[in-house]
Structure 1
Amino acid sequence: MNEKTHGDRRIHLDPAGAGRMPAAVREVLTEWTRFEDRYGPYELDERLEDVLHRQIHEHLAALLGAPPGDTYACTGAADAFAAVLSRLPLGSRDRVWTTPYESAANLSTLFALRARTGCRLEVVPLRPDGDLDLEWMARHIGGDVALVCVPYVPSGCGIVHPVEDIGRILAPHRCLYAVDASYAAGQLPVDAARIGCHLLTGDGWRFLRGPHTAGFACVAPRLREALAPHGGLPLVPPHGAAAAALNEALALHAAVPPRTALAPGLRAAVEDTAGTELIAPGRLQSGIVTFRHEDVPAALVRRRLADRGVVVWKTVAEEVPLYLPKRGVVTAVRASVHHDNSAGDIELFADALKDAVTRPLPAPARHPAPAAPAPVPHAVPSRPAEPGIPRARPAGRRHLTLVPDRPPATGPLQPGA
């Protein structure tokens, strides 16, 4: 580590992956986990009754611009999305729209919805600049579109989608509107009423810096009514201690004054580094910057930055399987900023990144030739060879893909016209 530059300090540039939990949040999580271990879950629920049934919903309502009665604490955005869609009453004549920026987890849930209901799954096309084609949406929306799913900010790049404009296009029609705000809540304003969505989901451990396995959902009355005849809203609440810690994180977030945006400086640091390529489609970007280098693999860039005390994320194409693989992206580095970062952090990142990509690549490992097998002594009689059992070759480390080589039986994803 460069002592002159970093000392013992680590620069955390990964709130999009896992925000640094504030000390107060960590203390709440630890305190109530110990309490449950000593007194049991029933005593824990009684002690946290006001937190779980009032405080956390007031904080979520303030964060999301929604009535407290529409907010739910859950185990995470992907879990809430899957739970709601598992009971959504669609049919074979319904169309469902997703986008090329959909996450692997949500796309897997949409495939399951299609398999269960026979609905038609379509992908909204992009403009040449990477933005969603809102004119296409306005032309093709109709009574047979039952559900539209849009990530506010996708995980694989920093584009910000115009979720409020999309809501205005969809408002006169029957379709339900779902927005994944996992990578937006805590770094961008989120107002469910202005967006006009019926389902808004998010994770508490990213920019909000709460504990893992604690997230939230905002569910509009119309969606709750649609699910009522089919078993209601099957959301699983987080563990009591995790919910209390999320409540503390929400309270701390609400008390933090806004600071000067650091994303442009982060983006400039990448652009000023020779050999790097930004993965930044669209006209509006968030505090997430994704890039790759023409020579140095993303995993090595991440490790070298970590050696310099800079924490970033390595992302793989299959996290956004309808967008990144088609653009030749296999792996990339993702950096992101939070309000607790400083301009000095960006300067240190810029210095560390230049060092990471200019150092020589490691020489390929040389493996010695295998030794010849020892000869079998002639005194040992040999037995007839037995039929061999085929063994699968070790797969090694491979990336999961949700895009099959052959179209599934229910039909491929339908691209926009």
Structure 2
Amino acid sequence: MSAQKRVHLNTAGAAVPLPAAVEAFTQFTLLEAELGPYEAEERYAGQLGEDVYAAVGRLLGAPAGTIALFASATDAWCRTVCNLRLSRGSRIWVTPYEYAGNLIALRLLADRLGCRIEVVPTLPDGDLDLDWMRRELDERVALVSVVHIPSGCGIVLPVAEIGAILTGSDAVYVVDACQSVGHLPLDVAQIGCDILTGAGRKFLRGPRGSGFAYVARSLWDRIELPFYDLHVADVDASGAFRLECATAARFETAERSGAAVLGLLAAAEHAHERAHAADSEVFDALTGAVRRAPGVQLLAPGSTHSGIVSFVHADVPAERIRAFLANEGVHVWVGTGSHTPLYHAARGVDRFVRASVHYYNDLGDIDRFGRALATALADH
């Protein structure tokens, strides 16, 4: 491989960290080593206790008091959604693009409460059947879970339209925004969701080990946590406690990485100030390069796409394609069909190549990807 820069087309897995996030993370870690972790935390009390909630809130169009921080998006999702109080026998809606981790949690929740999981059908092109949702919505629908952009393909689901359909119902509306926060503009009021979760490490370009949730105030009393941590409660000698937290931080646990939180703060501030998604020309070029590759099947259901392009080849394994591209300095990823089981696995897709672009990618990157991919597949 030549001395050219490496082309990172794996933001959907984890982005190249933002320099400001790396700086914030590093400087806090060094300060911990110099002063001690508690003392460093005290030095940054304003940023850790106020600024980060305000910054994430601005990014989502949400009040700072409705933001809770976690070590990952999965932790955020499970800490809130898995502890919802739902009526026995309720209906839970998911889409065919639901993430497997969410499905595991929902299956456990449904089994515990005697609920039924139902999959929203799609139209022939892969778009969700919104008319079905309108017809089938009734008082038994207690929870609707939608992944804004699934990690296995670039379809953008119409979260605001779904929110409008659910307006006035008692259903709790949950949006997994792991692949859209820092990528597409988000406004929880416009979406109409009750919970929205996201990760710092993907399109936000923050550090690994950071995640968050927006939790609507109206929902707080319907989330029954197995415990509240000491930072939000006061306990007397009998073991009785009372909550002393007037924000969504009540859903957090006390121990966390101050370095990761400060990195998330830097990333959220940066994302709020700049344009979000990769240039549409770059994404279109990526899609075109895959379409032109010999023997490739594009995995692109639906009519609206952004950021992520996934594909398979009939004869060349995904792992071999990824390894060849990596040797050429182009980083993509191998997706697993079982991670989106209701879509990929149901269609017999076991492994696939996933390429994802962000604003730091340009047409030159896509040209290198296209040429390397064509070479990888030239003999097949």
For the criterion TM > 0.5, the same-fold answer is: yes
8 Å contact from structure 1 (residues 95, 119) kept in 2: yes
8 Å contact from structure 1 (residues 87, 231) kept in 2: no
Q: What is the one-letter code of the residue matched to 2:377?
A: V
Q: CA deviation at 1:254?
A: 2.5
1:175-209 Cα deviation digits (max 9, x unpaired) = 11000000111111111110000000000100111
Q: Please say if 1:84 is aligned against 2:54.
A: no
Q: Please say if 1:152 is aligned against 2:148.
A: yes
Among 179, 184, 198, the alignment partner of 1:188 is: 184
Alignment of 1:82-121 (within 5 A): 82-121=78-117
Distance in 2 (alpha carbons) for counterparts of 1:228 and 1:306 = 46
Q: Please say if 1:205 is aligned against 2:201.
A: yes
8 Å contact from structure 2 (residues 82, 106) kept in 1: no
Distance in 1 (alpha carbons) for counterparts of 2:275 and 2:129 = 35
Aligned to 2:266: 248
SS in 2 for 1:358: coil
SS in 1 for 2:152: coil
Q: CA deviation at 1:94?
A: 1.2
Question: Unaligned stretches of 5+ in structure 1?
Answer: 361-417
> Structure 1 length as normaliser, TM-score?
0.82
Distance in 2 (alpha carbons) for counterparts of 1:115 and 1:270 = 41
Give the count of matched residue pairs. 356
SS in 2 for 1:291: strand
Distance 1:141-1:257 versus aligned 2 partners, 3 A rule? closer
Q: What is the one-letter code of the residue matched to 1:174?
A: D
Distance in 2 (alpha carbons) for counterparts of 1:170 and 1:253 = 29
Question: Unaligned stretches of 5+ in structure 2?
Answer: 229-249
Distance 1:53-1:123 versus aligned 2 partners, 3 A rule? same
Distance in 1 (alpha carbons) for counterparts of 2:30 and 2:75 = 26
Distance in 1 (alpha carbons) for counterparts of 2:18 and 2:56 = 18
CA RMSD between the two structures: 1.7
Distance in 1 (alpha carbons) for counterparts of 2:363 and 2:252 = 40
Alignment of 1:60-75 (within 5 A): 60-75=56-71
Among 339, 343, 347, the alignment partner of 1:319 is: 339
SS in 2 for 1:178: strand
Q: CA deviation at 1:250?
A: 1.4
Distance 1:287-1:26 versus aligned 2 partners, 3 A rule? same
SS in 2 for 1:100: coil
Q: CA deviation at 1:93?
A: 2.1
Q: CA deviation at 1:17?
A: 0.4
Q: Please say if 1:52 is aligned against 2:48.
A: yes
Alignment of 1:316-355 (within 5 A): 316-355=336-375
Alignment of 1:14-413 (within 5 A): 14-227=10-223, 233-236=250-253, 238-257=256-275, 260-261=279-280, 262-359=282-379
8 Å contact from structure 1 (residues 145, 174) kept in 2: yes
Runs of 4 or more consecutive aligned structure 1 residues displaced over 6 Å after TM superposition:
none
> Structure 2 length as normaliser, TM-score?
0.90
Distance in 1 (alpha carbons) for counterparts of 2:328 and 2:227 = 52
Q: What is the one-letter code of the residue matched to 2:97?
A: Y
1:213-270 Cα deviation digits (max 9, x unpaired) = 1011100011113226976753336411100011111122233346632211100000
8 Å contact from structure 2 (residues 337, 350) kept in 1: yes
> Which has the larger share of helix?
2
8 Å contact from structure 1 (residues 187, 207) kept in 2: yes
8 Å contact from structure 1 (residues 129, 283) kept in 2: yes
Identical counterparts, % of pairs: 43
Distance in 2 (alpha carbons) for counterparts of 1:115 and 1:93 = 10
